[in-house]
Homo-oligomer: A and B are copies of this chain.
Amino acid sequence: MAVDRERILRAAAALLTRKATATTDEVAKAAGISRATLHRQFAGRDALIRALEALGLQQLESALDAARLDEDSASEAVRRLIAEVEPVAGFLAFLVTENQLFETDAMNEGWTRIDDRISALFRRGQESGEFRIDLSPAWLTEALYGLVGSGAWAVQDGRVAAKDFQFMIVELLLGGVRRSVGK
Least Cβ–Cβ distance between A162 and chain B, in angstroms: 12
Interface class of chain A by DSSP: helix
CA–CA, A142 and B20, complex, Å: 20
CA–CA, A19 and B173, complex, Å: 28
Q: A138-B159, A142-B159 in contact; A180/B181 too (CB < 8 A)?
A: yes
On chain B, the residues within 8 Å of A149 by CB distance are 146
A positions within 8 Å CB-CB of B = 18-21, 97-98, 100-101, 132, 134-136, 138-140, 142-143, 145-147, 149-151, 153-154, 159-160, 164, 168, 171-182
Could you list 27 examples of A-B contacts with CB < 8 Å? A19-B101, A20-B20, A20-B21, A21-B21, A134-B171, A136-B160, A136-B168, A138-B159, A138-B160, A139-B154, A139-B168, A142-B154, A142-B159, A143-B150, A143-B172, A146-B146, A147-B147, A171-B176, A172-B173, A172-B176, A174-B176, A175-B177, A176-B176, A178-B182, A180-B181, A180-B182, A181-B182
